[in-house]
Structure 1
Amino acid sequence: MARIVVIGAGLGAMAAAARLAVAGHRVTVYESGATYGGGVRRLTRDGFGFDTGPGLLHLPAVYRDLFVKTGKQPLEECVTLTQVDPASRHVFADGTRADLPNASRAGTAAALDAALGAGAGARWGDFLVRAREAWDRTRRPLLEEPQAADVTPLNRDPYPALKAGLLRRPTTTLAQVADRELRDPRLVALLGSYAWGYGFDPADAPASAAVLPYLEQTFGTWYVDGGIRALADAVYERCVQRRVEFVFDAEVTDVVEEAGRATGVRLADGRTVPADHVVAGAPVPALYREGIVGPGLPASRPETWPRHQPVRTGRVTLCLALRGARESGAVHRTVVHAAAALPTVTVLRPGDPALRPDDAHESVTVTATTEILPSWTAFAERMLTQAEAAVPDLRDRLLWQEVRTPDDTLLETGAAEVPGPALAGDKGRWLPAANVSPLPGLYFAGGWSHPGGGLAHAGMSGALVAGLIVEGADFRGSQ
């Protein structure tokens, strides 16, 4: 039985902890804050509840697998999952609206034809066929297997973009794919919104980011009753059932290294905790900033540090407490696309009784990703203006609002930025840190490590780290 220390109590770290405990190891999680969940938080006030991190779940199979592998109770006995249908309503800058069904290729094509005109659905469908090729080519190396020591095969973009012009120039970014293949500015905006949801600028993101809408529109969108925080509660409870020990308000300040490998951690109170393996669930950039990288990763040799994506955007969330009941015909998620200087925002209206004081009120969250700004007041006001297209009489119904910014994310997780899923192409620039660090005995889990950000991807990182520790270098990923 090995002694394993986990730094941080995010979803990826807890997923690793539960799996390692089931394998017979003694696992202790040290969390610098007062609670678990990482970026999956809950704001409550006056009977209203709000998810301040992700509000929806994709690929629930990742957490179904976690619960199957770590106990007798399956996921559906611990939380209630509901398919969101329509998956999203899109309000475009010209006022056009389109409701896209959940996980229905034919239904999506019909909805786009009805809203945008004949042929729009076929163009989007043809694009998704090519996106599927990129998904099939990268699914295992980017999601189900540990990151290979040689990542050069992933440097080339797997998206089979259409070529045009006399010189048959290839497309290299998602924005180029949109302009060349979709043409309609509303379809261009639709594709771009999937990238912006993770903080990826379509003008910079590789063409392989086409897998993001493919993943959602193929595998569906799900809501966890009570909010996504309920999923974090369930994972935490599963860890406790498996006798994982949690120590809160315990900041790790260093990874102890002896004889060229990680042998424990040092806490802010001066204590040293020995370990046979250390799993760092804290964001990789935070490890750089705080110096929790040990002598095995010296500042004089930055080329030895694990990579992380060039993401410089953060999530802003407005938590809105509204008087009045949710109107008939309201949908769970509305994406209001940018017009002029206004941001593209996502408005979530769960209609969940657990998140409101009574049926005469409603809780709504409005989110946007943007570059890190020195002040958020004006940006939050522009977000509220955008949200009026999704919520009738919004300002008249508004009782109060709280604004959550990347400054709050930094305090809660150690990084202000929002990590996104691993993407192939662009010379490997969009690949996150490998789960195995350059310092033997130190592993990375969570959104800043392979296979990247998002609830499902973080859960996968926990499975990969557990497999690497339990099975060693021979581990080849899920089967």
Structure 2
Amino acid sequence: MARIAVIGAGMGAMAAAARLAVAGHRVTVYERSETYGGAVGSFERDGFVFDTGPGLLHLPAVWRDLFVKTGKEPLESCVRLVQTDPASRHLFSDGTDASLPNASRAGIVAALESAVGAGAGERWGEFLGRARDAWDRSRRPLLEEPLRSEWRLLERDPYPAQRQRRVLRTRQAATVAEVGAWELRDPRLAALFEGYALSYGLDPRYAPAGTALLPYMEQTFGSWYIEGGLRELARAVYERCLARRVGFVFGAEVTSVVEKDGRAAGVVLSDGVVQEADHVVAGVADPAALTERSLWLDQDLSPRARDGAVQPGRFTVLLALRGARSSGAHRTVVHSPDAAAEAEAVFSGRAAEHPTVTVLRPDDPRTRPDDGHEAITAFATVAGQGGRLDWTDKAVREGHAEMLIDAVGRAIGGQEGIRQRLLWHEVLTPAETGSLTAPALAGAQGRWLHPGNTTRLPGLYLVGGHCHPGGGLAHAGMSGALVAGLIVEGAGFRGSQ
């Protein structure tokens, strides 16, 4: 039985902790805040409850696997999952209104054919077929296996782009924007694909064509809501950790990793106390800051800046409304009339004039004080804190909040009505919630991959959105499984079978 110190109580870190405890190890989690869950948080006021992180669950099999592997109670015994239908409703600037069914490729094709026009659904269906090929080619090395020295195999984009005749020569789409322009060939379909990229903090102008994996995963495996909000998933994972005798120390900031005989041997807390360990699992954004050595060599993947730009974040408005919830989609996306201008603004550090806004309207009694009220969350991907925008400026915050509230009015029918119903609103910006961390993607010479879960310091492992396989709730759970496998089975671990 080994002693394992886990730094941080985010979702990936807790997933690793639960698996390691079941394997017989003595695991202690050190979290600098006073709670668990990392970005999967919540806000409560006056009987209203809002998710402040992810609002929907995709690829639930990742978390089902965790609960199966760590105890007799399946995930559905701990939380109630509801498949949202439609999965999403999309409003475009020309008035097009498309509602896409959940986990039904044929249904999605038919919905787009009807809403967008003849041929649109067929083109989207063909796009999903190519995305499936990319999924089959890259799924294991990109998501289910540890990242090893052969990572350069992932430099090549797995998306089988169609050959196009462009300016007297044949070319293939290499980016999200090119796929939209050359293959989807409709600004609304292009906006649909680019919206997926932007929601994960990816620039559609440069993100590889393999980003097609993101809409493929959602539209194939479905969108799920957890009653009470996604924070309930964090609670369930935390309670599973406790049931497996994982120890938690909150308000405990780790300032460095102890090194002894050339390997990680524990952690040092901010009060100077040293906690010895045989392995250390770091679920933090900058693990190198905890050591006095380089964790990566020239041939390794290491954290890298995106051309010096500030990584975008999420601007969120939480709205408490009087009046019963009317019928309508759980999720509505109000698309920008100019996706290219939006991307240029976000990734140059400016506020987009017309952001793409996602509106979440859970029909869940646990999120509101009674049936005479409604809780709505609206968010948009925006320039990160530290660039040209100062999200701590009250005028900047409220000005952007007004744009999102207008989008909510459009999503639920009537901007005038939303003002009359609004009791209060709360604003969260990248200044409070940090930056978005994108999932790992193949292609573009490995530019969109993340550092592996092992480091050049033996005994120190990385978990969570800042390492392989990247950001997103499902990817965090995958990283926990990979780290647990590497510790339990050693360097020969090849991932889940």
Range of TM-score over shorter length = over 0.9
Give the corresponding residue for 1:474. Answer: 492
Residue 294 of structure 2 is matched in structure 1 by 297
Cα separation, 1, equivalents of 2:456 and 2:277: 17
Change in Cα spacing, 1:339 to 1:91, as seen in structure 2 (3 Å) is same
The answer to whether the aligner puts 1:386 opposite 2:407 as a matched pair is yes
Q: Tell me the residue number matched to 1:36.
A: 36
Counterpart of 2:369 (choices 357, 364, 369) is: 357
Separation (CA, whole Å) in 2 of partners of 1:440 and 1:366: 43
Q: Percent same amino acid at aligned positions?
A: 63
1:374 lines up with 2:390 in the alignment:
yes
User: Is 1:442 aligned to 2:444, yes or no?
Assistant: no
Q: Secondary structure at the match of 1:389?
A: helix
Shift of 1:302: 8.4
> Quick check: 1:338 aligned with 2:340?
no
Match of 1:460 in 2: 478
Q: Output the amino acid matched with 1:421.
A: P
> 1-side partners of 2:420 and 2:329: how far apart?
20
Matched residues in 2 for 1:370 and 1:252: separation? 30
The separation in 2 between residues aligned to 1:116 and 1:109, in whole angstroms, is 10
Contact 1:197 1:369 in 2 (8 A): yes
CA contact (8 A) 1:141 1:147 kept: yes
Matched, 1:348 2:360: yes
Aligned match of 2:161: 161
TM-score after normalising by structure 2: 0.91
Q: Which moved more, 1:460-469 or 1:333-342?
A: 333-342
Q: Which residue of 1 aligns with 2:438?
A: 420
Q: Deviations over 1:252-283 (max 9, x none)?
A: 01111122211111110011111100000112
Per the alignment, residue 61 of structure 2 pairs with: 61
The whole-number CA distance in structure 1 between the counterparts of 2:41 and 2:356 is: 23
CA distance in 2, matches of 1:141, 1:5: 27
SS at match of 2:12: helix
Contact 1:308 1:431 in 2 (8 A): no
Equivalent position to 2:419, from 392, 395, 401: 395
CA contact (8 A) 1:342 1:383 kept: no
Q: Among 282, 300, 307, which residue is 2:303 paired with?
A: 307
Q: CA deviation at 1:151?
A: 1.1
* Cα distance between partner residues in 1 of 2:257 and 2:371: 50
Whether the aligned pair in 2 keeps the contact of 1:435 and 1:465 (CA below 8 Å) is yes
> For the Cα contact (< 8 Å) 1:255–1:265, is it kept in 2?
yes
**Residues 368-411 of structure 1: CA distance to partner in whole angstroms, max 9, x if unpaired?**
111113133322222222222112322221110000111111xx
Contact 2:282 2:461 in 1 (8 A): yes
Residues 342 and 386, structure 1, Cα contact 8 Å, conserved in 2: no
1:412 match? none
Question: Do the aligned residues in 2 keep the contact of 1:257 with 1:296 (CA within 8 Å)?
Answer: no
Q: Is the 8 A contact 1:256 1:263 kept in 2?
A: yes
Aligned-partner residue type, residue 335 of structure 1:
V
Q: C-alpha offsets along residues 138-172 of structure 1, whole Å, 9 cap, x if unaligned?
A: 00001111112221110011111112113112221
Q: Is the partner of 1:422 in helix, strand or coil?
A: coil
Task: Count residues with an aligned counterpart.
Answer: 466
Counterpart residue number, 1:142: 142
Q: How far apart, CA to CA, are the structure 2 residues paired with 1:232 and 1:95?
A: 38
Partner of 2:185: 183
Deviation of the 1:77 alpha carbon: 0.4
Indicate if the aligned counterparts of 1:305 and 1:438 stay in contact, CA closer than 8 A: no
What secondary structure does 2:337 align onto? coil
Alignment partners' CA distance in 2, 1:80 and 1:57: 12
Q: Secondary structure at the match of 1:44?
A: strand
| 3-state secondary structure, aligned to 1:150 | helix
- One-letter identity of the residue aligned with 1:387: V
1:80-91 equivalent positions in 2, closer than 5 A: 80-91=80-91
Give me the whole-angstrom Cα distance separating, in 1, the residues matched to 2:466 and 2:141: 17
Whole-Å separation in 2 of the counterparts to 1:305 and 1:192: 26
Secondary structure of the equivalent of 2:412?
A: coil
Cα distance between partner residues in 1 of 2:149 and 2:356: 38
- The answer as to whether partners of 1:304 and 1:438 remain within 8 angstroms in 2 is no
Deviation of 1:26 after TM superposition, in Å, equals 0.3
Change (3 A) 1:249 1:145: same
Distance of aligned partners of 1:298 and 1:87 in 2 relative to their CA distance in 1, 3 Å threshold: closer
Residue 47 of structure 2 contacts residue 369 of structure 2 at CA under 8 Å; is this kept in 1? yes
Please give the alpha-carbon distance, in whole angstroms, between the structure 2 residues aligned to 1:282 and 1:368.
24
Question: Retained in 2: the 8 A contact 1:174–1:202?
Answer: yes
Match of residue 343 from structure 2: none
**Residues 14 and 298 (structure 1), Cα distance of their counterparts in 2 relative to 1, 3 Å cut:** closer
Letter in 1 for 2:427: V
Q: Please give the per-residue CA displacement for 1:112-145, whole angstroms capped at 9, x wherever unaligned.
A: 1111111110010011111111111100001111
Could you tell me how far apart the structure 2 residues matched to 1:207 and 1:395 are?
Answer: 40
User: Is contact 1:97-1:115 (8 Å) kept?
Assistant: yes
* Structure 1 residues 156 and 305, CA gap change in structure 2 (3 angstroms): closer
Partner amino acid for 2:263? Answer: R
Please give the residue correspondences for 1:13-52 in structure 2 after superposition, counting only pairs within 5 Å: 13-52=13-52
Distance in structure 1 (CA, Å) of the matches to 2:459 and 2:143: 22
- Per the normalisation by structure 1, the TM-score is 0.95
Does the Cα contact within 8 Å between 1:419 and 1:448 map onto a contact in 2?
Answer: yes
Counterpart in 2 of 1:413?
A: none
Give RMSD over aligned pairs: 1.5
Mapped partners of 1:180, 1:67: distance in 2: 43
Partner of 2:394: none
| 5+ long unaligned stretches in structure 1 | 410-415
SS of structure 2 residue aligned to 1:179: helix
Distance 1:298 1:358 in 2: 52
CA distance in 1, matches of 2:72, 2:295: 44
Give the whole-Å Cα distance in 1 for the aligned partners of 2:278 and 2:65: 26
The secondary structure found in structure 2 opposite 1:168 is strand
Over 3 Å counting, the alpha-carbon distance change for 1:58 and 1:308 in structure 2 is farther
The aligned amino acid for 2:206 is: D
| Structure 1 residue aligned with 2:429 | 405
1:172 and 1:261 map into 2 onto residues whose CA distance is 41
The CA deviation at 1:303 is 7.9
Q: Give deviations 1:319-355, integer Å, cap 9, x for gaps.
A: 1000001113x11000000135210011000011000
